[in-house]
Amino acid sequence: MKSRKKWSQHLYKTPQDRPISATSSLSDNVDYLQRSCFYTDDLITRNLPYNNNKAMILYLVSLSDVEKIQKAIVEPLLLLKNCSVEEAVPVNFKKTNNLVEAEFALNAGQCLLVSEGSETIYIIDTYIPVKRAIEEPGNEQVIRGSHEGFVEHMQTNLHMIRKRINHPNFTVRQFIVGRLTNTKISVLYINKLAKDELIEEIERRIRSISSDSIQTPGFIEEFIEDTPFSPFPQVLNTERPDRVAANLLDGKAAILMEGSPTVLIAPATFFSLYQSPDDYNTRSLVGSFFRLIRLASFIIAILVPAFYISLISFHYEVIPIDMIFSVKSGLTNVPFPPLIEAAFMQITLELLKEAGIRLPRPIAPTIGIVGGLVIGNAVVQANLVSNIMIVVVAITAISSFVVPSNEMSTVLRILGFPFMIAAATFGFIGIVFALMLLLMHLCKLESFGSPYFAPFAPINWKDIKDTIIRVPRWKMNTRPKDAHPSIEKNEYYSREWKNNDKQK
Amino acid sequence: MINKNDTITPLQSSLLIVQSQVGVGILSLPYSVHAIAKQDAWLSTFLAGFIVNGFIWLIILLAKRFPSQSLFQYTPQLFGKWVGNSLSLMYIIYFILVGSLILTLYLNVIYKWVFDETPIWATLLLMVLISIYLAKEPLRVIARFHGFVTVLILGLIGMVAYSYITIDIRYILPVGQSGILNIFKGSKEAAISFLGYELLLVVFPCILNGRKSALKAATYANLFVTLLYGFVVFTSLIVFSPIEIELVPEPILYMLKAFSSRVVDRIDLLLLSIWMVCVTTSYVTYIYLGGKGIQTLFSLKKQSTAVIIAAFLTYWIPLFLQGEVKIAAFSKYVSNISYIFTIGIPVLLLLISLVFHRKSKEQSL
């Protein structure tokens, strides 16, 4: 603890450093500010005499809105004589006599107004955010429902969430982390609904971040998650405001970061990674069907290659007699053991996928030709891989892409490998043990104090309503318990009209 | 004292007991009970379940007098340090012996049915390592796992029910032909498969609202296990003729081996997979109990160290215990001493605590 304090104190300046008070000499103050920025070339200083007093404004031209400075600071001060700064400047400002604070404000795109004979420095808000248009996130598309996605500007993102939850209990807490990057992050939750302990725990973990830089939400995730070496994501990543709003309404908390469209939601459960906003826009029967398909995809992605390997290397007798000949005929010419075959195909697939992401768009179709024709067909003709193995790997790949969460889909494909190895060494028993190990791991995981594999471990029948199936909304009377929300009921009797009908 | 964080709900405790009870014995239960009670083996099974419930009642009666302490914590209070601790040590040895019995029987079946060439130490090590991974966790995590895999028992019931295509009810008639005495003797044989409920001695303080709910939870669990065992034994008795069943040590596997469907042949291998999970859960329970005892007795800080020691101790016996005769003798021995530990000592403790009015003071410790 001691060494940590030392480290943070002596490396870089922080806004919390001991304040340095401004003097009444204009040149001294400006000199300090310029020196503190090491005379960086995008620092603009300009003389701006007003009320017959010498004064200067300083701003970073790269972050500040020059037009706004012109309109809101320079023009009023030059035109309005005998008028104080408070009266003349029409935009938000703050006063300080702490040079350290002024220095950091300058670096956050604010404009400083320093005048002769005064120790007060005006910090005037002239920051201009550069943002792109709101688009649908490419990695989380839906068929029906909102097509908005987060952007790199936090205020815009907050706007998108706030317009979905118009309630005074919706709370935003801001933190600044990273001593060099000074990244703004916000924790969002609905007060009185999210459990206090959860919010305290998240805030405690965020406060303990003591790092030079926070560049992506992935940094925050790795700093605050419970089990860093688990393959499963314990925080939900999303770029969809509707998904964030839905989770906030379940009593969870969201973490936004300036400069990234990805929002973290904590606590996450295994099944929350399998929910998509699409499910709630389709009829409940259809939604349930999709949920079951996704669950099946999890089992298929992990088990099918392993099952196939154990079948053809240990348990031939399980294959029905009519099928055994076709399986055998495909295998006779292949010189490799099934594990090598499967691993070869899986790795090829990963290569194709990775190449598909990196390739520039105009030459992307090449991958389709190489992957589909050359590898799919030629590999079998060259007797490197059996026909059925191609089918198995293809099914595995497709089902791993069914998961709505991209991290999870990669996890699925990675988990396939240990299962294949277990199957190749111990057959069915290997698979059973690997499955047990996976299940034990899932039972063990906890995300911010909530069991990860809820509602199955621990079993809670009530909460299955929104996991492997999706019951109609009017049946979801209570919130899922995994985030321990303080208010359990979320729906009373919205279909009361039906009863009224009958009574008439 | 029990960590407040480490409580389980009554439902979880039920499932924990179910998973600890259902284990290695279920495969050979019809065979071993039939060997004594003949065609009335199913009556013996139900009777055993009934008697075991009495044991459970007594254990809970004892545990209720020390609601916030485990067996390892209150024995020194009852008897003083030396006698109490040696009693704890005996329990630890008992738990480890049952653990190694589970491993031995498990290996026996695996080598008969699936592998015959894999080295024993490897198969064994796989099981032990995976179980340690779970058993070193707090009880609530173990309860989560045990609770979840209980779903598999439904699959087991379904598979056994599959054999109802070829039954002959006349095999069990006339009911009661082997006589009351043999039925009772048979239930003694069946009771060994019910072992696992003695975990209440240790985990009782972790059960939420244990004083009120534990008895109900344990009774439901035992009822479920009794019905399951009764169903399995009954099915085996009406599927196999009296002469056949004497030849098949694992009747359930044999009867499923005979069937083949268009999609999967050898359903018995799937059943074996489910059975393996049940064996693992029972084994995990015992090394957890043994580990907990070691931790309390030697005041170890970490549960994981204690569990690893317990698991390591169970690892050796199956390695050296080869051959049907030796295994049968070991099994017989453990089943005999199990009566001392599941009913003998608890009743003694209960009597002593009643006579001397020893009860845990809530604030003590």
The per-residue pLDDT for range A256-289, each reduced to its tens digit, is 999 999 999 989 999 988 888 888 888 999 999 9
Task: Dig out the tokens for A342 from the structure.
Answer: 């499967």
Contacts of B304 in chain A (CB under 8 A): none
Please give the angle made by the CA atoms of A20, A24 and A27, to the nearest 5 degrees.
Answer: 90
Q: Which residue has the tokens 């809101």?
A: A72
How many Cβ contacts (< 8 angstroms) between chains A and B? Answer: 83
- The residue in chain B having the minimum alpha-carbon distance to the alpha carbon of residue A458 is B144
Chain B: nearest CA to A458, how far in angstroms? 5
DSSP state of B169: G
Chain B: nearest CA to A421, how far in angstroms? 14
CA distances to A431, B77, B267, B283 from A434, in Å: 5, 43, 20, 17
CATH class of B10-355: mainly alpha
**Distance from the Cα of residue A228 to its chain's centroid:** 16
Q: Which secondary-structure segment (H or E) carries A464?
A: none
Task: Dig out the tokens for A95 from the structure.
Answer: 């006063």
Query: What is residue A133's three-state secondary structure?
Result: coil
Listed residue (A317, A486, A424) closest to B269, CA to CA: A317
| Cβ distance of A437 and B118 shorter than 8 Å | no
Question: A186 and A158 in contact (C-beta within 8 Å)?
Answer: yes
| Alpha helical stretches, state H, A282-386 | 284-313, 321-331, 338-358, 365-369, 379-381
Mean pLDDT of A198-224: 91
Listed residue (A252, A92, A234) closest to A161, CA to CA: A252
Please give the angle made by the CA atoms of B263, B264 and B268, to the nearest 5 degrees.
Answer: 155
Please give the angle made by the CA atoms of A487, A490 and A494, to the nearest 5 degrees.
Answer: 150
> Band of the pLDDT at A504, cuts 50, 70, 90?
low
Task: Dig out the tokens for A347 from the structure.
Answer: 């790795």
Q: Is 70 exceeded by the pLDDT of residue A226?
A: yes
Of B114, B130, B140, the CB nearest to A433: B130
pLDDT tens string B188-225: 888 888 998 989 999 998 888 878 888 999 999 999 99
Phi, psi of A124, deg, nearest 5:
-105, 135
Going by their DSSP bridges, the two strands A253-257 and A263-266 should be labelled as antiparallel
Q: Which secondary-structure segment (H or E) carries B189?
A: helix B179-191
* Beta carbons within 8 Å of A193's beta carbon, 6+ residues apart: A169, A249, A251, A485, A486, A487
Sign of CA pseudo-dihedral B285, B286, B287, B289: positive
Write the ipTM.
0.91
| Cβ distance of A456 and B133 shorter than 8 Å | no
Of A320, A429, A458, the CB nearest to B114: A429
DSSP B36-76: HHGGGHHHHHHHHHHHHHHHHHHHHHHHHHSTT--HHHHHH
**Distance from the Cα of residue A376 to its chain's centroid:** 35
**Distance between start and end Cα atoms, chain A:** 72
Phi, psi of A489, deg, nearest 5:
-75, 140
| Cβ distance of B277 and A443 shorter than 8 Å | no
Length of chain A: 504
Domains of chain A by residue range: 13-124, 154-268, 283-451
Per-residue pLDDT, A1: 44
- Give me the sheet containing A55-60, strands edge to edge: A43-47, A55-60, A111-115, A121-124, A93-96
> How many other C-beta atoms can be found within 10 angstroms of the C-beta atom of residue B288?
30
Q: Which of B15, B106, B148 to mutate to test the interface with A (most CBs of A within 10 A)?
A: B148
| Cβ distance of B269 and A318 shorter than 8 Å | yes
CA–CA distance, B2 with B47 (Å, rounded to integer): 35
Of B133, B148, B276, the CB nearest to A432: B276
Per-residue pLDDT, B292: 92
CA distances to A215, A247, A389 from A485, in Å: 31, 11, 47
- The residue in chain B having the minimum alpha-carbon distance to the alpha carbon of residue A438 is B130
DSSP A238-283: E--HHHHHHHHTTT-EEEEETT-S-EEEES--GGGGG--THHHHS-
Say what the alpha-carbon torsion angle A476, A482, A488, A489 is, to the nearest 10 degrees: -10
Contacts of A444 in chain B (CB under 8 A): 134, 137, 141
CA–CA distance, A444 with B9 (Å, rounded to integer): 17
Cis peptide before B251 (omega within 30 of 0): no
Cis peptide before A217 (omega within 30 of 0): no
CA distances to B131, B132, B310 from B287, in Å: 8, 8, 6
Phi, psi of B106, deg, nearest 5:
-60, -50
| Cβ distance of B264 and A318 shorter than 8 Å | yes
Taking phi over 0 as left and psi of -120 to 50 as alpha, with beta for the rest, A454 belongs to: beta
Q: Which residues of A touch B (CB under 8 A)?
A: 315, 317-321, 426-433, 436-437, 439-441, 443-444, 451, 453, 456-459
Per-residue pLDDT, B98: 94
Cis peptide before A455 (omega within 30 of 0): yes
Question: B117 and B312 in contact (C-beta within 8 Å)?
Answer: no
- Residue A61: CA atoms inside 13 Å, Cβ hemisphere, count? 8
Phi, psi of A256, deg, nearest 5:
-105, 150
pLDDT in tens, chain B (365 residues): 345 567 888 999 999 999 999 988 888 889 989 888 888 889 999 999 999 999 999 999 998 888 888 888 888 888 888 888 999 999 999 999 999 999 999 998 888 887 777 788 888 999 999 999 999 999 999 999 999 999 899 989 988 888 888 888 888 888 878 888 888 988 888 888 899 898 999 999 888 887 888 899 999 999 999 999 999 999 998 988 888 888 888 888 888 877 766 666 777 888 888 999 999 999 999 999 999 999 999 988 899 999 999 999 999 988 888 788 888 899 889 988 999 998 899 999 889 888 887 666 554 43
Domains of chain B by residue range: 10-355
pLDDT tens string A432-482: 999 999 999 999 999 998 899 988 878 888 888 888 888 888 888 888 887
Q: Is 90 exceeded by the pLDDT of residue A367?
A: no
* Higher local confidence (pLDDT), B89 or A372: B89
Chain B: nearest CA to A469, how far in angstroms? 17
> How many other C-beta atoms can be found within 10 angstroms of the C-beta atom of residue A76?
17
> Band of the pLDDT at A407, cuts 50, 70, 90?
confident
Chain A: nearest CA to B170, how far in angstroms? 33
| Cβ distance of B147 and A453 shorter than 8 Å | no
> Band of the pLDDT at A222, cuts 50, 70, 90?
very high
Q: Is 70 exceeded by the pLDDT of residue A494?
A: yes
Question: A453 and A442 in contact (C-beta within 8 Å)?
Answer: yes
Per-residue pLDDT, B363: 42
Range with lowest mean pLDDT among A152-156, A251-255, A477-481: A477-481
Contacts of B273 in chain A (CB under 8 A): 428-429, 431-432
Buried b (16+ CB within 10 A) or exposed e, B20-32: bbbbbbbbbbbbb
Per-residue pLDDT, B3: 52
Going by their DSSP bridges, the two strands A236-238 and A263-266 should be labelled as antiparallel
Mean pLDDT of A339-367: 85
pLDDT tens string A192-202: 999 999 999 99
Mean pLDDT of A180-198: 91
Taking phi over 0 as left and psi of -120 to 50 as alpha, with beta for the rest, B77 belongs to: alpha
Sign of CA pseudo-dihedral A416, A417, A422, A427: positive
Task: Dig out the tokens for A31 from the structure.
Answer: 């000199």
Chain A: nearest CA to B350, how far in angstroms? 33
* Mean of the per-residue pLDDT values of chain A: 87
Q: Which residues pair with A93 in a beta bridge?
A: A124
